[in-house]
Amino acid sequence: MKLRDKEKDVIALLSEAQRESKHNYITEEKLKLIAQEAGLSYSEVYGVATFYSLFSLKPRGEYIIRVCDSGPCHLMGSRSIFEVLEEELKIKVGETTPDGKFTLEETSCLGICDEAPAMMINEKVYGNLTPQEIKKILKRLREKKW
């Protein structure tokens, strides 16, 4: 089957829709618009949006914290990083803080194993993490205005 001209744009459109949203997700309205724009059915667009883990169809925090759970980080203590974050944010992996500021997620290797354990907040990567370092980062982000 030949890919229609617009079909290949669907991922770019989904990314854009997610970036434009304050809460890092793709709204139902946007999904419908993208389907029309790309000439796809709702289910096809939904299928693509849920296939890629970086897309979300549920509102998320302003900051998405993705902690690496691949091998090297695991060996270097990523479990304790999760624990500190869960305790500090009072949420579990996959959840968002009630103030809508943070979402905690897992991710696969971020490519800086020499600085393990590592995590990524939105587009920025942090390495050589310790509990103290994490608390500092969170403090900074909390004080930052929306």
Strands (E), 17-123: 63-68, 102-107, 119-121
Task: Tell me how far, at minimum, the Cβ of 104 lies from another protein, in Å.
Answer: 19
Alpha carbon distance 131, 103 (integer Å): 18
CB of 135 to another protein, least distance (A): 33
From the CB of 70, what's the least distance to another protein, in Å?
16
Pick between residue 36 and residue 130 the one whose CB is nearest to another protein.
36
The answer to the question of residue 1 lying near another protein (CB under 8 A) is yes
Least distance CB 115 / another protein (angstroms): 28
Q: DSSP character for 104?
A: E
Of 24-32, 65-73, 94-102, 109-117, which part binds another protein (CB under 8 A)?
A: 24-32
Residue 13, C-beta contacts closer than 8 angstroms, at least 6 positions apart: 34, 37, 38
DSSP 96: B
**By CB under 8 A, what part of segment 45-104 binds another protein?**
46-47, 50-51
Does residue 35 contact residue 43 with C-beta atoms inside 8 Å? no
Cα 60 from chain centroid? 8
Binding mask 25-44 for another protein (x = CB under 8 A): ---x--xx-------xxxxx
Instruction: Tell me which residues touch another protein (CB under 8 A).
Output: 1, 28, 31-32, 40-44, 46-47, 50-51
